[in-house]
Structure 1
Amino acid sequence: MQQAATIDIASLTKKYGDDAVAVDAISLKIKAGTYCCLLGPSGCGKTSTLRMIAGHETATSGDIRLGDVVVTDLPPAKRQTSMMFQSYALFPHLDLVDNVAFSLKMKSVPKAERRAKALDMLKLMHIDQYASRRPAQLSGGQQQRVALARALITSPQALLLDEPLSALDPFLKVKMRQELKRLQRELGVTFVHVTHSQEEAMALADLVVVMSNGRIEQAAEPREIFHRPATAFVARFMGDHNVLAGKVKELDAEGALIEAPNGASFRIPGADHLVVGETAEAAVRRDRIAIGESPTKGLGFTGHVRNVEYRGGSMKVTLDAPGVEDFTVYAEESAFDSAPHEVGQAVPLSWSLADVHVLKPTAH
């Protein structure tokens, strides 16, 4: 394998026509040997970003650097990257060896050499025993391994994956996640993986890049994303925090008091950007909220139970409250069973100031 390369994106923009901005002047550095996941909802710009890195989409403006080379205007074959498409696109009439060796055939590598390299790649994927089979004779997971082998045989400096697990069933997705992580560790290649699955990104990535409306909301390690979401979008999209918002009413040594639109008040820690009279947003972890305990002033409220779901080991309790949108609590199963709450019931909710995380102002 070739040495992994750092991917450096500077002010990268992609427009379709005059008005449709798919990627909006993003800058990102993915260090060599990193497993990076581009994460976000449909239409956020993650696939357009991946395709521009690969050279399958032309950048409207900005630059892409792979190692020491600016590749922005280079064709895909000149970029030292390889892309694994969502459809796998295997040749049905070729056996696995010839499928994997196809790109080497296009480069006029002698038959014996390319077939030997293809067999080595199939061994790396633990499917060399199926070398003489054709794609239709394989399971979905085995077909994916063939597609990976074909993408890696050219010794790319970066492997680009477009939602590679989306077609697999839940059990196989978990298994293939482990395989992808194993491969990335063993090969040391830079992986850039597009997904809309929060769980997938958290399980795989060294670097999670959360995107929305063509922009990067946050780029950080998974634990940083989980514990300290940068914006209200990240807090909501990752699904582990509730967002409280309102005007800053007063500032003191302990932090700030914010007033929600319905008149309720919440305490939040201090932050440099907080100004009396301006809007502030803060996140509270769903699993750090107590149900049934009366709150101290500004550290809780009373909500009405809207829905209860069993999650296996915990209960997901969704509540309504004036001025608070989609407030959810993850309650430990045993604690909930000892004092269950029914739909329509009014219950007090409380949390500690240490579990409140101040968010950056929404820029767009």
Structure 2
Amino acid sequence: MSKAAEIDIVSVSKVYGATTAVHAISLKIPPGSYCCFLGPSGCGKTSTLRMIAGHESISSGDVRLGNVVVTDFPPAKRGTAMMFQSYALFPHLDLIDNVAFSLKMKGVDKDARRAKALDMLKLMQMEPYATRRPAQLSGGQQQRVALARALITDPEALLLDEPLSALDPFLKIRMRAELKRLQKDLGITFVHVTHSQEEAMALADLIVIMNDGRIEQAASPREVFERPATAFVARFMGDHNVLSGRAVASDLNGIVAFETSGGQVFRVSGKPHQPGEPVDIGIRTDRVRLAAATDDAPGFNGVVSNIEYRGASVKLTVIGAGSDDFTVILSDADYFAQPVTVGDAVALSWALEDAVLLGRVTA
């Protein structure tokens, strides 16, 4: 296999007519890492992947693979391989010829390309099916063949466009483990587009969260989970509540006081804000407690609007502090020790260190 290369995206934009799909993003993807682009439909993640692959032209900026600027290279000359969401296997060819197809296009002789295709099918544990056609395979088996076909060219980076979206939930989890194992074994850079937070958290060394053509945060899964950079990231990842307001005061101890539209004042640790400046804070859903606020534990009173029993945990939805869906995740033991019902008034609080002062992406 080729050695892995760093992918350097330098001020890359994609413009379609009057619409800007990607706004001058810059990002370094370390060599040999597993990077997931994550975000809602239409956020620019697939356009970015296709620009790295060369299947989409770059409106401005550059893409480097290692030390080589590949912006104007055709896909076959970039040192990348792409696995498409549809797998795009040839129905009339057996698995060996499907996997060997790109080598055939490069003029590699029949025996050599078929031998290498068989090696790739062995790597994917698909050798016993080598003479079958794609229609005789399950979805998971087709995916393995598509991976073998992408990897036969010894790419420095493998690009995957929503590779698990067509699989059933049980198979998705199995194939996640397969992809992670494969990436570690091969040691090459994987760049994987997904709209599933769980998938990105399970696979990635680096998660790149996009929204409206911009990068909101690029960080390790743990940092994204523990310290979301913006209100969008906090909401999209689903593990933080967001409260918004305007700064009232900042003190020398790094505490910012802010007031919500409902007139409640909260405190958060973070860089000073001028009075009147907008403030967003994120509060971990699993760190909120059914307990009254104190000097050391900010909080508010609200009304329970929904309860979901989840086995090991219970999810409460509470209306209050300007939020219609403030979420509290309690362990089943904590909930049943102090059960509440829909319509109950509850006091909620959290430790000061469990609230994060969120930033904002500049346009």
- Give the TM-score normalised by structure 2: 0.97
Deviation at 1:325, TM superposition (A): 4.5
1:280–1:361 contact (8 Å) kept in structure 2: no
Which amino acid in structure 2 is aligned with residue 148 of structure 1?
Answer: L
- Unpaired segments ≥5 residues, structure 2: none
The Cα offsets for residues 32-72 of structure 1, whole Å up to 9 and x where unpaired, read as 11110000000000000000001111111010011111111
2:243–2:321 contact (8 Å) kept in structure 1: no
Secondary structure, counterpart of 1:101 in structure 2 = helix
Number of the residue aligned with 1:260: 260
Which amino acid in structure 2 is aligned with residue 179 of structure 1?
Answer: E
Which amino acid in structure 2 is aligned with residue 356 of structure 1?
Answer: A
* Cα distance in 1 for residues equivalent to 2:118 and 2:361: 52
Number of the residue aligned with 1:305: 304
* Cα distance in 1 for residues equivalent to 2:34 and 2:318: 37
Which amino acid in structure 2 is aligned with residue 294 of structure 1?
Answer: A
2:245–2:258 contact (8 Å) kept in structure 1: yes
* Cα distance in 1 for residues equivalent to 2:78 and 2:269: 47
Identity of aligned residues (%): 65
Deviation at 1:276, TM superposition (A): 2.2
Is 1:294 aligned with 2:292?
yes
* Cα distance in 1 for residues equivalent to 2:58 and 2:195: 23
1:284–1:355 contact (8 Å) kept in structure 2: yes
2:22–2:47 contact (8 Å) kept in structure 1: yes
Secondary structure, counterpart of 1:242 in structure 2 = strand
Q: Say which is worse superposed, 247-256 or 39-48, in terms of deviation.
A: 247-256
- Superposed counterparts of 1:172-183, under 5 Å: 172-183=171-182
CA RMSD of aligned residues (A): 1.2
Number of the residue aligned with 1:5: 5
- Superposed counterparts of 1:1-364, under 5 Å: 1-17=1-17, 19-254=18-253, 255-272=255-272, 274-291=273-290, 293-296=291-294, 299-364=298-363
* Residues 187 and 81 (structure 1), Cα distance of their counterparts in 2 relative to 1, 3 Å cut: same
2:63–2:70 contact (8 Å) kept in structure 1: yes
2:216–2:361 contact (8 Å) kept in structure 1: no
Deviation at 1:312, TM superposition (A): 2.9
1:12–1:27 contact (8 Å) kept in structure 2: yes
Deviation at 1:282, TM superposition (A): 1.1
Secondary structure, counterpart of 1:341 in structure 2 = coil
* Cα distance in 2 for residues equivalent to 1:362 and 1:328: 25
Which amino acid in structure 2 is aligned with residue 286 of structure 1?
Answer: T
Deviation at 1:322, TM superposition (A): 4.3
Secondary structure, counterpart of 1:290 in structure 2 = coil
Secondary structure, counterpart of 1:133 in structure 2 = coil
* Cα distance in 1 for residues equivalent to 2:128 and 2:68: 39
- Give the TM-score normalised by structure 1: 0.97
* Cα distance in 1 for residues equivalent to 2:362 and 2:80: 34
* Cα distance in 2 for residues equivalent to 1:337 and 1:48: 48
1:243–1:284 contact (8 Å) kept in structure 2: yes
1:12–1:62 contact (8 Å) kept in structure 2: yes
2:100–2:149 contact (8 Å) kept in structure 1: yes
Secondary structure, counterpart of 1:229 in structure 2 = coil
* Cα distance in 2 for residues equivalent to 1:271 and 1:311: 37
Which amino acid in structure 1 is aligned with residue 268 of structure 2?
Answer: I
Secondary structure, counterpart of 1:164 in structure 2 = coil
Which amino acid in structure 1 is aligned with residue 157 of structure 2?
Answer: A
- Size of the aligned set, in residue pairs, is 361
Which amino acid in structure 1 is aligned with residue 12 of structure 2?
Answer: L
